[in-house]
């Protein structure tokens, strides 16, 4: 039996906005990141964490507010 079939490793990926991207364009960065990592999760268990709380990225925490 191959090792890849006997044990499945969960792949955890983290995506975030680039520091140089304006906060108004943050969604574009997240979509690009998600599109790039999604193929890695097609044949294995995993998850994507969306980072909206980096103190080193200007205004990033403003994305934490709910709609309305």
Catalytic residues: 54
> How many C-alpha atoms does 15 have within 13 Å on its Cβ side?
16
**CA gap 8, 51 in Å, rounded:** 25
> How many C-alpha atoms does 22 have within 13 Å on its Cβ side?
2
């Amino acid at each position: 039996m191959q090792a890849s079939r006997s044990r499945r490793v969960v792949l955890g990926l983290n995506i975030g906005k680039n520091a140089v991207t304006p906060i108004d364009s943050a969604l574009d960065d997240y979509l690009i990141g998600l599109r790039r990592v999604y193929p890695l999760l097609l044949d294995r268990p995993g998850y994507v964490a969306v980072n909206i709380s980096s103190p080193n990225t200007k205004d990033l925490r403003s994305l934490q507010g709910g709609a309305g």
